[in-house]
Amino acid sequence: MTDLQTIADRVEIEALRGEFTDAAMMGDHERFVALFTEDGVYRIPDAGVVQSGRDELLAGTDKLAGAWEYFVQTTHPGVIELDGDVATGRTYVSEIGRQENGMSMLNYAIFHDRYRRTPEGWKFAERVFEVRYFDSSPLAGSAKVSWPPAAE
């Protein structure tokens, strides 16, 4: 039987992962950075991105976000392995977007995470983005659509 603390830890870590995607999608960079420990690290190895500490995370997040015309990220729950006040886990990701320079992007990826319990709750100690599939074919859609679409 799983004890209540284990259940609470899993729920809080899952909420942390959801907050990450929401902060990214809403452009809330301060909230995004607050999800990491003070010495937290965010890595995107395929893009050569390594951001360490909250100041570097904020500067890097501002720079990355400014490159997109539009960006949509969806995540799907993965595993969580608890070990006291630390944990590891994976989250499965799908992203689609177009950069301001016109480059389109569709990918499927995995976040490999290390979490740490802090006085403010669980935070990311490290988040590593591993791309498993990448497609840069031009996207046919647009960033904004009026709904319902006008009849042709």
CATH of the domain at 53: 3.10.450.50
Range 94-118 average pLDDT: 96
- pLDDT tens profile 119-149: 999 999 999 999 999 999 999 888 777 666 6
In a domain, 13, yes or no: yes
Position 71 pLDDT exceeds 60: yes
Residue among 51, 37, 25 at smallest CA distance from 115 = 37
- For 2, residues 6+ apart whose C-beta sits below 8 A from its C-beta are none
Range 85-106 average pLDDT: 96
Q: How far apart are alpha carbons 109 and 123 in whole angstroms? A: 21
In a domain, 52, yes or no: yes
Position 35 pLDDT exceeds 70: yes
Structural domain including 99 reads 4-135
In a domain, 151, yes or no: no
Q: Cα 6–53–79 angle (5° rounding)?
A: 30
The pLDDT > 90 percentage for the chain reads 80
| Tokens 């690290």, residue located | 41
- pLDDT tens profile 10-23: 999 999 999 999 99
In a domain, 143, yes or no: no
**Inter-residue contact 114 to 124 (CB < 8 Å):** yes
Q: Count CB-CB contacts under 10 A for residue 125.
A: 19
Please count the CA atoms within 13 angstroms of the CA of 75 that sit on its side-chain side: 21
The pLDDT > 70 percentage for the chain reads 93
pTM more than 0.85: yes
In a domain, 107, yes or no: yes
In a domain, 149, yes or no: no
- pLDDT-based confidence at residue 1 (cuts at 50, 70, 90): very low
Q: Count CB-CB contacts under 10 A for residue 111.
A: 20
In a domain, 152, yes or no: no
How many structural domains is the chain composed of?
A: 1
In a domain, 33, yes or no: yes
